[in-house]
Structure 1
Amino acid sequence: MAGNNQRLTVAPTVTMLGVMKQRLVGATRGHALLKKKSDALTVQFRAILKKIVTAKESMGDAMRNASFSLTEAKYVAGDNVKYVVRESVKSATLRVRSKQDNVAGVKLPRFEHFIDSSSGVSGGNDLTGLARGGQQIQGCRVAHLKAIELLVELASLQTSFLTLDDAIKTTNRRVNALENVVKPRIENTISYIRGELDELEREDFFRLKKIQGFKKREVEKQMASAKNFAVEQETEKLSLKKGVSMNAAHNLLFAGGDRDPDLIF
């Protein structure tokens, strides 16, 4: 029963050890993948940060040029130019569409600007300012288009920047949790299970040694009992043969005076 109980105790422990090893392998692999993901996101984050700095520097010049071009157009064409432009514009020519970029499993929104040729506004704008100030009006239009394009690019970069910032924080939290919490707990559990298995193995070894010693003593007792029984039988035969007492026959038997050579002991 002791051996059966021991096997029932060891089997679940070994199974649990295998499960914990598989969990440790999964945690290690997940930690490595999340670390690579964090590095890739960080590289993209720094690249977007550089683009944002450059776009903001260009944005200042673009807005200044757009403001100066508008002032020049008003100075040359007069204040009535804005009414002429409003009448010639029926729908927006510059439009914005949204797309998504996938960076290490993180979807980053990206905005693109494009000219809508179906609106047919460009042809109407070509005649704006035909009376006077046409060159300045077209220059103002180009400057403002440049400013709008930079605004769209900056909005796309800022949105991607914030999305990447949240993704990097979440990924780093998961990496730190796996590295500092999950993996140490699993490793401690594995160490504890291995210690318990070593202790059970030592108990098994000690139990086997005790059983072997017990069996050896039992065999020695049986051999001694068989020897004593053989001696008693021989003594009884000698006593009947010599007509002496059992003690005298015993003394004669061990003195070697008349021992039967067929006796085993």
Structure 2
Amino acid sequence: MANITVSPTRMELTRLKGKLKTAQRGHKLLKDKRDELMKQFLDTVREVRSLRAEVEEDLMRVHKSFTVASALMSSEALEQALLYPKQSVELTRTTQNIMSVNVPVYDFQTKTKSDSDIYPYGFAATSGELDDAVEALGLVFRKMLKLAQIEKSAQLMAEEIEKTRRRVNALEYVMIPNTQEAIRYITMKLDENDRSTTTRLMKVKDMLLKDAIEAKRAENARAMEAFSKSGGAAAET
């Protein structure tokens, strides 16, 4: 028996059977959890790939717009136009439970009434390309925040999948087989003890029967001897 020391008693056998039943139920639940987590993880990974491609494309568009604006405007004018931001946001973070994994949920609210109120400069001294760049950057910011949320969720789910996989393997390849082996060992020992007890009882029964037969024979011998003596005495008379 591998690395398990147990007492071959019926109480220990009952305890191990209950432990095995609980381990098998937990193994099934953990496998179901792992499979569902894998499904949601793969869906999340596909969403991450799609959203990342969109974000990279939008960022390239923003970069091109800023490059054109910097070519049409002096660096001092561009810096002065963007020096004091007009729009500000408040970021909030909550969590969502997915298969016992608390994944983050990011959200932000603008301080001004309109999301489009993002230009911190007047339009007379700036180029239209700068307007396009600022607007595109404001739009891509939401996608970047969502991308960060989904990537973090994928990372947390991957860690939980790995932990669940290790637990499933520990139950499937270590705990359940060792418990089954311990149950077989105790069952074999109890059966062996029962056979030994039966054999001893049969031997005791044979000994008692033999003693009873010998006692009966001795009693018959004494009776015959007494009968013989009484018969001889009668003949002499």
TM-score, with length taken from structure 1: 0.77
Structure 1 residue 151, shift from structure 2 partner: 1.7
Count of residues in correspondence between the two structures: 230
Kindly indicate whether residue 94 of structure 2 is the aligned counterpart of residue 109 of structure 1. no
Q: How far apart are the structure 2 equivalents of 1:162 and 1:196?
A: 50
In the alignment, structure 1 segments of 5+ residues that lack a partner are 1-10, 245-265
Determine which of 47, 50, 55 is the counterpart of 1:54: 50
Determine which of 93, 98, 116 is the counterpart of 1:98: 93
Structure 1 residue 215, shift from structure 2 partner: 1.4
What secondary structure does 1:111 align onto?
A: strand
Residues 3-48 of structure 1, C-alpha deviations (whole Å, 9 max, x = no match): xxxxxxxx96111111111111111111111111111111111011
Residues 45-74 of structure 1, C-alpha deviations (whole Å, 9 max, x = no match): 101110111112111211011122223444
What secondary structure does 2:209 align onto?
A: helix
- RMSD over equivalenced CA pairs, Å: 2.6
Which has the higher Rg, Structure 1 or Structure 2?
1
Aligned letter for 2:160? A
User: Hey, what does 1:86 align to over in structure 2?
Assistant: 83
What secondary structure does 2:9 align onto?
A: helix
Q: How far apart are the structure 2 equivalents of 1:243 and 1:229?
A: 21
User: Hey, what does 1:192 align to over in structure 2?
Assistant: 185
User: Hey, what does 1:236 align to over in structure 2?
Assistant: 229
Q: How far apart are the structure 2 equivalents of 1:206 and 1:218?
A: 18
Contact 2:59 2:140 in 1 (8 A): yes
Aligned letter for 2:83? R
**Identity rate, percent:** 23
What secondary structure does 1:156 align onto?
A: helix
User: Hey, what does 1:142 align to over in structure 2?
Assistant: 135
If each structure's helix is expressed as a fraction of its own residues, which one has the higher value?
Answer: 1
Q: How far apart are the structure 2 equivalents of 1:185 and 1:127?
A: 70
Contact 2:96 2:102 in 1 (8 A): yes
Q: Which has the higher contact order (CA 8 A, sep 6+)?
A: 2
In the alignment, structure 2 segments of 5+ residues that lack a partner are 1-6
Q: How far apart are the structure 1 equivalents of 2:61 and 2:89?
A: 19
Q: How far apart are the structure 1 equivalents of 2:115 and 2:38?
A: 43
Q: How far apart are the structure 2 equivalents of 1:127 and 1:18?
A: 76
TM-score, with length taken from structure 2: 0.85
Determine which of 16, 29, 33 is the counterpart of 1:20: 16
Residues 200-225 of structure 1, C-alpha deviations (whole Å, 9 max, x = no match): 11111211211111111111112112
Q: How far apart are the structure 2 equivalents of 1:218 and 1:144?
A: 108
Choose 64-73 or 141-150, whichever is displaced more.
64-73
Q: How far apart are the structure 2 equivalents of 1:237 and 1:117?
A: 137
